[in-house]
Chain A
């Protein structure tokens, strides 16, 4: 009994202290807001926002609600984070492996890249890429096309838009292809375990995923045409491209800065991971006759990943949170649209800041959970 009490009392005191402190500040905030005539409430979310946003993944204009504006910002944050994470990972892995290269030039170049980009504040890099891009990119009327269909201009990257017919059939064939790949993989594993034969799964998979959708074009009635951006004159020296898809330079600069910066940290994680695998492991693998590719794929990488994943998760979280610097260069992420314009128009500081905090928290937790699940999946399975 005594032992139990001793255990519980410090816990109780901690909880009480947290509740009291939180209660004190909440009460104070309430009193102060009442004194100044500030209402508290989330009702504003359904009001008309009456401001427009430059770039949105869903249909939005000022006649929609503040909640819709929030979604626009959230989706833009997710978009830049996802693209950033993909590029940062690819670049990080390449640079990380390059740092281990025995080629002097490759090795030193990778080391220089890592040291250079990770030691300059991200905001500065962001301004550099944004204003460097703005200063060097041509005006729409001076832009040379790339393959006749892409235009990279100061107002953004214009790419042809896809115009699909019978898009659903195309998707069905994709799904069929994916399912057959899974079946083939399971089958290949069985064959290998029972007969020791190896089937070139990768080649078959690539073939399937290309061939089946291709069939849908031939006999499924699927057709794809492109809407190519066209130059339009607004005024004597003022032009813009119409039609097609346009990616704003803000998105490009932000993605570039975030990926280049975060890739340096991921590269270091990768290098640490690969170096963390014992030399004996590689030698043992080579001695039983595995090819260098097999050594990397079957022996080194599975062990290295266990070291790489946890710190890389941190970098993914950092990248997502760093995307909030977007506001500095006019990329309409959640901070600019919601914690910026919406906050200013409504004056609901506490409400909006709390929603924004919860949003980042949820995003971070989701990434963490996903990465933890993956980490667990590749962990050593003790039998």
Chain B
């Protein structure tokens, strides 16, 4: 018996060691994460295992996507080079542990901001880079065009460890429909099982459905239903306890969105330095001391815009031009009928 206790002890110790490596003091005035990042020379960023438009690696191992661009923006701001990012693909199940244990410094992986995640598990959400909602995909041949046509006994494929599982239950319960949840660990298996006919519907965030639809053997045979059953504000997450790092990530994202609002693009950023509008000048580092509070130089935001582009450029490049979601919907600027609205950089 003692033998087993010892084995177990060593296992628990190994779990504990993950935490031990990242001891950091709350009292440290300067951001320890920032210091470590500058020492290492790259930003450690957790992304998905492949979600076109958000974070997806091509054959050569180059990552693209709007989630990827958040990490690139931070790298441009703190290291001066948007390419100095080390991407770690994570499953939904691993993502928070990877962040809290210090394996990564930013989690930018289509993660829904919820109260319990923000408050309970040592994480801080810094903003929203995509407003999403959960939806359903069905085969067109089924003749279903609305969730109102769902009947008792329907089987729904989905991913493990996401808000999707909870929303799905709330939805089917409120409609009084009995259903069979088929939950996979990885998205690729969900797609394969749905494609084979294991499930009548596939449910996840609508952006995810749009992106995964491309992977199906015959995308045109499938339809994303119009109903949205939940709010899914997706955004980057950092570890709790490093306020400066948190601010850097938050304002890197805000800079991209505000740059679009003022019409600053990667192409015209340098020329904007001589703009008459002080708000624009602040965004390209030509006025005020906008980097000092983070321990950064004054052109950190200019580098983001020049190297990564503004939010609109990132969206167009990754999501619109790839045919995933050409219509920006709620992810349009507040000035153009969307709900993208960020505090001013001043």
Contacts and interface: CB of A to CB of B under 8 A. Distances in A.
A248 B198 CA distance: 10
Interface string A253-268: 0000000000000000
B338 to A, nearest CB: 30
A54 B180 contact: yes
Contacts of B198: 134, 154-155, 249
Contacts of B218: none
Nearest to A241: B153
* 8 tightest A-B CB contacts, nearest first: A347-B121, A344-B161, A36-B122, A25-B16, A236-B143, A134-B196, A28-B20, A235-B142
Interface in B214-228: none
Interface stretch (A1-9, A220-228, A325-333): A325-333
B241 A52 contact: no
Contact of B120 (A22, A28, A35, A39): A39
Interface of A: 18, 21-22, 25-26, 28-29, 31-33, 35-39, 50-54, 62, 131, 134-135, 139, 154-155, 232, 234-238, 240, 242, 248-250, 327-330, 332, 336, 340-341, 343-347, 349-350, 353-354, 357-358, 361, 365
A36 B189 contact: no
B141 A31 contact: no
B26 A340 contact: no
Contacts of A26: 12, 16
Interface stretch (B50-58, B89-97, B279-287): B89-97
A38 B143 CA distance: 48
Contact of A32 (B23, B181, B197): B23
B190 to A, nearest CB: 8
A33 B183 contact: no
Contacts of B339: none
Given A340-B160, A349-B97, 20 more contacts: A21-B13, A22-B13, A25-B17, A28-B19, A31-B23, A32-B19, A36-B122, A51-B169, A52-B179, A139-B197, A234-B154, A234-B200, A235-B143, A235-B151, A236-B141, A236-B144, A240-B153, A340-B183, A344-B92, A344-B160
B151 A234 contact: yes
B186 A328 contact: yes
A330 B121 contact: no
A158 B64 CA distance: 45
B19 A361 contact: no
B240 interface: yes
B184 A330 contact: yes
Nearest to A51: B165
B24 interface: yes
B88 interface: no
Interface string B2-28: 001010110111011101101111100
A168 to B, nearest CB: 30
Interface in B134-175: 138-139, 141-144, 149-151, 153-155, 157, 160-162, 165-166, 168-170, 173
17 contacts: A25-B17, A33-B19, A36-B240, A50-B170, A52-B169, A154-B198, A235-B144, A236-B142, A237-B139, A327-B160, A332-B183, A341-B160, A344-B93, A344-B160, A345-B166, A346-B120, A347-B120
A327 B138 CA distance: 24
Interface in B49-83: none
Nearest to A154: B197
A53 B182 CA distance: 8
Contact of B149 (A51, A54, A235): A235
Interface centre among B4, B100, B165, B183 (most CB of A within 10 A): B183
B185 interface: yes
Contacts of B193: 134, 330
A249 B199 CA distance: 12
B6 A18 contact: yes
Nearest to A29: B16
A340 B161 contact: yes
B293 interface: no
A29 B19 contact: yes
Nearest to B182: A330
Given A51-B166, A154-B198, A340 B185 contact: yes
A50 B120 CA distance: 17
A22 B160 contact: no
A329 to B, nearest CB: 7
B93 to A, nearest CB: 6
B303 interface: no
Contacts of B149: 235
A91 to B, nearest CB: 27
Nearest to B153: A240
B239 interface: yes
A237 to B, nearest CB: 5
B24 A358 contact: no
A340 B181 CA distance: 14
A212 B162 CA distance: 53
A327 B161 contact: no
B267 interface: no
A330 to B, nearest CB: 5
